[in-house]
Amino acid sequence: MLHLYMGDGKGKTTAAIGLLVRAAGAGKKVVFAQFMKGRDTSELAVLCNIPGVVVLRNDKDLGWYDSNNEEQTKAYTEVHNKILDEIETFILNGQCDVLILDEATYPYNYGIIDKKRLESLIDNSPKEMEIVITGRNADMFFASRADYITNMEKLRHPYDQGVQARKGIEY
């Protein structure tokens, strides 16, 4: 089944990681593919040590995406398509029961991923494989295929009062 955690509220990645922990605890093979993010985040210290969990992501921080920066657009596109390559390999080798596509709505919406390959991956994945997608502004492609849709709505957030992201809480 396809899970979609979307919206402008906090907790999309956190919800996906909760499902990851539950699946890994049940002995499932989990691939956690993280798009857009390159800087080190606190959850990585734990995720990489959970048996049965593979983390795929960019190994360098490319900064906030600027669509007017051709060099950055090229770098993001290369990184995201490389992650797709790795995901496809895990699926083809039967090493993925649960696939988490964290922040996948962004590269899809910005056109910095091979959309056709991502769509094919989702549409042609093994029927027994669970897929989780997170991010804001989910395209109808994702929403129309989702079995679960959770919309995280921000009602209040400290960032609106100038509080910066805190290690261990927001990252």
Give the chain's domains with CATH numbers. Answer: 2-132 (3.40.50.300)
Separation of alpha carbons 78 and 59, rounded Å: 12
The burial class, CB within 10 Å (0-12 / 13-18 / 19+), for 54 is middle
Phi, psi of 32 (to 5 degrees): -105, 100
Instruction: Please provide the average confidence, as pLDDT, over all residues in the chain.
Output: 95
pLDDT-based confidence at 93, cuts 50/70/90? very high
Which residue from 127, 108, 132 is spatially nearest to 119, judged by alpha carbons?
A: 108
Q: Which two tokens stand for residue 8?
A: 């402008």
C-beta neighbour count of 152 within 10 angstroms? 16
How does strand 148-151 pair with strand 2-6?
A: parallel
pLDDT-based confidence at 52, cuts 50/70/90? very high
- pLDDT recorded at residue 61: 84
pLDDT tens across 2-36, in order? 999 999 999 999 999 999 999 999 999 999 999 99
pLDDT tens across 97-137, in order? 999 999 999 999 999 999 999 999 999 999 999 999 999 99
Higher-scoring residue by pLDDT: 42, 148: 148
What's the pTM? Answer: 0.94
User: Using N-to-C axis directions, what is the helix angle for 115-123 and 70-92, rounded to 10°?
Assistant: 20
CA 49 from chain centre, in angstroms, equals 19
In the predicted structure, residue 170 carries a pLDDT above the cut 90:
no
pLDDT-based confidence at 62, cuts 50/70/90? confident
In the predicted structure, residue 155 carries a pLDDT above the cut 90:
yes
